[in-house]
């Protein structure tokens, strides 16, 4: 039975690296992989991890019907598995599409659970509601505790206001435990 998987973690937890390793594993077994990400992630045309793994990918925007997207690729070359990076940027409707795609193939989504305000992203919320399998990809805070917060920093200081989405990496975000996050917020 095909499933909808959501593998989530904080910034720097190796979500993208794991998505790329999963892709490699399927390719090694001669499966055709459709790997994609939302076009809002403009850092690269590829899916690229901090440790240097990279792959060409397809992109889509918020208006894309992912069932049609999948079917168009499946007509060109049979798709055996669909992998999505940056899944937090999906819309509710797109997650609904992904669930429908599991009638045909497995769908694996990788992304953040919460934004820098510690609130669920729209796509993550719907994935938690519909996924057949949820898996936390754990990472550690600088203190050694489990990182659970995606702290956004500007000029080295944590911020709690601003647009929900500001694309960036280590220069703008840090995975932190709740206690280090609270401590830095109180030291402003």
- CA 57 vs. chain centroid, Å, equals 14
Distance set, CA 133 to CA 36, 84, 108 (Å): 20, 15, 9
Q: Which of 61, 68, 15 is nearest to 40 (CA)?
A: 61
Active site residues: 86
| Strand stretches in 71-185, DSSP E | 81-84, 107-111, 133-136, 149-154, 157-159, 173-176
Locate tokens 């990472």: which residue?
139
Contacts 24+ apart (CB under 8 A), 164-172: 164/115, 164/117, 164/121, 165/40, 165/89, 165/115, 167/40, 167/41, 167/42, 167/43, 169/11, 169/43, 169/50, 170/11, 170/12, 170/50
């Amino acid at each position: 039975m095909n499933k909808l998987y959501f593998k989530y973690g904080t910034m720097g937890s190796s979500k993208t690296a794991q998505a790329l390793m999963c892709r490699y594993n399927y390719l090694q077994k001669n499966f055709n992989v459709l790997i994609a990400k939302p076009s809002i992630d403009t850092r690269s045309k590829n899916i690229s991890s901090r440790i240097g793994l990279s792959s060409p990918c397809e992109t889509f925007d918020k208006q894309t019907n992912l069932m049609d997207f999948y079917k168009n690729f499946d007509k060109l070359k049979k798709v055996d598995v669909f992998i999505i990076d940056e899944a937090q940027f999906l819309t509710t409707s797109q997650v609904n599409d992904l669930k429908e795609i599991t009638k045909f193939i497995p769908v694996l989504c990788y992304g953040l659970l919460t934004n820098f305000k510690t609130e669920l992203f729209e796509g993550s919320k719907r994935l938690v509601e519909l996924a057949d399998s949820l898996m936390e990809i754990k990472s550690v805070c600088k203190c050694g505790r489990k990182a659970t917060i995606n702290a956004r920093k500007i000029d080295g200081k944590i911020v709690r206001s601003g647009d929900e989405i500001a694309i960036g990496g280590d220069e703008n975000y840090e995975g932190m435990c709740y206690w280090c996050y609270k401590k830095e917020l109180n030291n402003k």
